[in-house]
Amino acid sequence: MSHSQLHPLQVNPATGEPYLRLGSPLENIILTPHRPGDAAFTVPILNDPGVVRWLGGPPYPYTPSHAESWVSSVIEESDAILRELREASAKDPEAPLKVVGDCPVRILREIKEDGSEVYLGDIAFRRCTYPHEAPEERLRLSEENARRPVGDPALVWCVAYYLASSHHGRGIMTMALRTLLSAWAIPRMGVRRIRTEVRIGNIGSVRVFEKNGFVLDRTVEKEYPNCLGETMHGSCILWWEHP
């Protein structure tokens, strides 16, 4: 029987956009690719101290121009994966599902009763770059990891995410991570090992990982200022291995 290489993503019949829906009781939340109009919604979230205090990545203050260039680069990445999958479907509709190096859906959106959608946040898998290792070891491990082919069970991934403060504490990120792991990361990316680093004190993020089977490996204590100038005390390193 022929199948789509997008499986198990669903496709919005009106827009052609692929999506994944979270399970009960969060069926009103979907994961989609980034859209060009998202940039404006990311700016207030990525300037919110309750969010950025815990993030190592985005520049701060986060400007509309940062947002525009980030969103267009992520759209290019998801378009490339979707193209790869659609070309594989077109070439051989009976071919086994392809393992790919990324997940094309990552943006959390809430669907309101009137059908409008609210941008809530982002969750993405990427190759681990060992941020808190000593520089030489970091380089060695990152280069080794970068050379591993897509689908290699030894490849070490990491997960990065954020959610608008208005929606914290409702179980959304716990379920988003669970859904992406089981629906896409494990079967469609071949993810078998994940290493994440969470700043000490970020209890909510540690819980999201623990509730998805991640285990605390060690705590690295080190004082440094975050983007708000607050003193951070180091990181918790958690690992997940495919059961």
Ligand X SMILES: CC(C)(COP(=O)(O)OP(=O)(O)OC[C@H]1O[C@@H](n2cnc3c(N)ncnc32)[C@H](O)[C@@H]1OP(=O)(O)O)[C@@H](O)C(=O)NCCC(=O)NCCS
Residues that bind ligand X (CB under 6 A): 51, 54-55, 161-163, 168-174, 198, 202-205, 207-208
Shortest distance, position 123 Cβ to ligand X, whole Å: 8
Pick 52 or 71: Cβ nearer ligand X:
52
Pick 155 or 159: Cβ nearer ligand X:
159
Other Cβ atoms less than 10 A from the Cβ of 238: the count is 22
DSSP 3-state of 183: helix
204/168 Cα distance (integer angstroms): 9
Shortest distance, position 208 Cβ to ligand X, whole Å: 5
Shortest distance, position 57 Cβ to ligand X, whole Å: 9
204/190 Cα distance (integer angstroms): 27
Pick 39 or 108: Cβ nearer ligand X:
108
152/233 Cα distance (integer angstroms): 34
* CB 242, CB 186: distance < 8 Å: yes
Pick 120 or 189: Cβ nearer ligand X:
120
Integer CA distances (angstroms), 15 to 11, 43, 120, in order: 8, 25, 20
Pick 12 or 166: Cβ nearer ligand X:
166
Shortest distance, position 196 Cβ to ligand X, whole Å: 7
Pick 149 or 204: Cβ nearer ligand X:
204
**DSSP letters of 108-146?**
EEEEPTTS-EEEEEEEEEEE---TTS-HHHHHHHHHHHH
Query: Do you know the residue count of the chain?
Result: 243
Shortest distance, position 16 Cβ to ligand X, whole Å: 29
Shortest distance, position 105 Cβ to ligand X, whole Å: 17
Which residue's C-beta sits nearest to ligand X?
A: 204
Shortest distance, position 209 Cβ to ligand X, whole Å: 8
Pick 207 or 242: Cβ nearer ligand X:
207
226-231 long-range contacts (CB < 8 A, ≥24 apart) are 226/52, 226/53, 226/54, 226/199, 227/52, 227/53, 227/55, 227/59, 227/60, 228/49, 228/52, 228/53, 228/60, 230/53
